[in-house]
Amino acid sequence: MAPKPPLMDLPIKTAESGFYRGFTKDVTITAKILVGALIIWAVAFPDAAASVLGGINGFILGTFNYWYVYAMAFFVILCLGLALWPASGRLKLGMPDDQPEFSNFSWFSMMFGAGIGIGMLTFATAEPMYHWASNPATIMGDTTGSSADNVRDAYIWSFTHWGLAAWASYAIVGLSLGYFSYRRGLPLTIRSGLTPLFGKALSGPLGHVVDVVAVVATVLGVSQTLGFGVEQFISGLYRIGFGEWLYTTDAAGEQSSSTMAIIVALIVIMGASTLSALSGVGKGIKWLSNINMGLSFFILVFFIIFGSTFFGLTALFVGIWDYLLSIPGNILTVWAADGTEQGDALAGWQGGWTIFYWAWWIAFAPFVGVFLARISRGRTVREYVLGALIIPAVMCFVWFALVGGTAIDLELNGDANGAITGAGQSDQLFAMLAVILEPTLAWIMSVIVVILLLTYLVTSADSAVLIINTINAAGDEGPKARPHILFWGAALAFVVGGLIIAGGLGAIQTAMVIGALPFSVVMVLMGFALIKGIWLDGKREAAGVQTTVDEAALPAE
């Protein structure tokens, strides 16, 4: 008996008139209520919000740590399996005659900018430095923190967090949407990726829940990214001479960003991003992306010329080798608190770093996944998976090796004399520039970094607003009603500001880990739906059953 044709029609009701014209009201209004409630709670009751979120976060880290680790391992294995499996690898994300819209260089550039951006400027220095001081090897006594024998372990974990696992989580969402939207004509929204499992039921409340979860996860994931960026932006403004008002010092002598600094930074960032979002992808976002690429390349060349190039290149090649050898063990290892000093320390380290990253990438996946699907039409599954996993990961490794390697080398040889180690996470890049360069040149480079950081922040925020509206509009990129763009721009600003004021970056991290959990379930189901969909399509092709929608039925470009 021949298998049935696949589902090629998933009607999603949208409003035909009024304020929500073109939008799915059940998704849009529910998401706005949830995000608005979080903002009001965090601003009106910061202590209670921080306490409750912290308690939930502790429960998740202690109960669902296995889930996060094994879910990410599943994404990596599935992506590589689909690329290597001949029956799936040759399939196109689109019609058989579709060709890629973008050149390979443009495609790689856009993937890197969408998935990395802000994180490179903060973590390319901070993460190798942190792991150089402390990582599982130092906790277990195998290496000594902040010494030459710990450099290789520092890069194993830096590459683990920013390597294949991160990009596999993005790739799963993008592959699922690209496959079911461009081959079957389904809406470019998250629920379409689950159609092999739930069918037409996704037209109703079940599908609405999936899209709401995706919107909330996106808001929290992007807020986490913006939170790190805001803190580094404030550090940069302080370095280039904007004044002492940017920081406050508490009774214990701890320095933190002032409320006024956070407000000013968010007004600048979100104001610019909202204007960019209103101008659309073809104007503001494209213009900013071009600036990002140019300045990023300039900074990377600067470190190749003035940084510890030999040390960095050694860290790069040795680190990639060590990382590849470590994958089978690290990707499946879960450390649970067992009441011993070492066991509890390992569990705490994994919760603060690996689980945090896995949640961050999952929360960021709806945003990056929709974007990857939009730019990958016409590519084969194999081409898409290998391109989306390997090239961006290698670019991350280059940044971490050259920028972070320079920082480690400066501390190892005594030139920095603790100036980089003693700086806060958001300030370490600027501290390193102050060590490498004389004051005037350090100031000029700091200005360039601040400009690049601002353009990355604006690009991430305005792209997120447009993707959120795409999901809310049942996959239609058309509706760009100004009030909805303004709402989500303001919502991102208030989530970031409210949670930072409520409990610093830790509060955003906590909320994100919580928000990522339900979407991680959606992503795992998307993985199984992909397997089922591709497997059944193979059987359909063998039986002569149509597997792609009639091109005449597709919406016009």
Answer yes or no: is pLDDT of 378 > 50. Answer: yes
In-domain check, residue 546: no
The answer to whether residue 28 is domain-embedded is no
Q: Residue 195's pLDDT is what?
A: 95
557: number of Cβ within 10 Å: 5
Which of the four pLDDT bands, split at 50, 70 and 90, describes residue 307? very high
Instruction: Provide the whole-model pTM.
Output: 0.90
Residue 180 belongs to a domain with what CATH number?
Answer: 1.20.1740
Q: Is residue 264 part of a domain?
A: yes
* C-alpha span between 505 and 512 (Å, rounded): 11
What band does 356 get if pLDDT is binned at 50, 70 and 90?
confident
Give the range of the structural domain holding residue 402, as residue numbers without chain letter.
Answer: 38-248+259-333+343-540
> Is 471 part of a structural domain of the chain?
yes
Torsion angles phi and psi, residue 99, rounded to 5: -115, 150
Is residue 107 one of the residues assigned to a domain? yes
Beta pairing, strands 247-249 & 255-257: antiparallel
Number of domains in the chain: 1
Confidence label for 2 from pLDDT (cuts 50, 70 and 90): low
Question: 43 lies in a domain?
Answer: yes
Would you say residue 123 lies in a domain?
yes
Among the ranges 150-159, 248-257, 287-296, 360-369, which has the highest mean pLDDT value? 150-159
Dump the DSSP string for 428-493. Answer: HHHHHHHHHS-HHHHHHHHHHHHHHHHHHHHHHHHHHHHHHHHHHTTT-S----HHHHHHHHHHHH
Distance, CA of 97 to CA of 99 (rounded, Å): 6
Q: Is residue 365 part of a domain?
A: yes
Q: What is the pLDDT of residues 118-129, one digit of tens each?
A: 677 788 999 999
What does the pLDDT read at residue 555? 47
**Could you write out the three-class secondary structure of 283-343?**
HHHHHHHHHHHHHHHHHHHHHHHHCCHHHHHHHHHHHHHHHHHHHHHHCCCCCCCCCCHHH
Query: What would the two tokens of residue 75 be?
Result: 């994404």
> Amino acid identity of 316?
L
Residue 552's contacts (CB-CB under 8 Å, 6 or more residues apart) are none
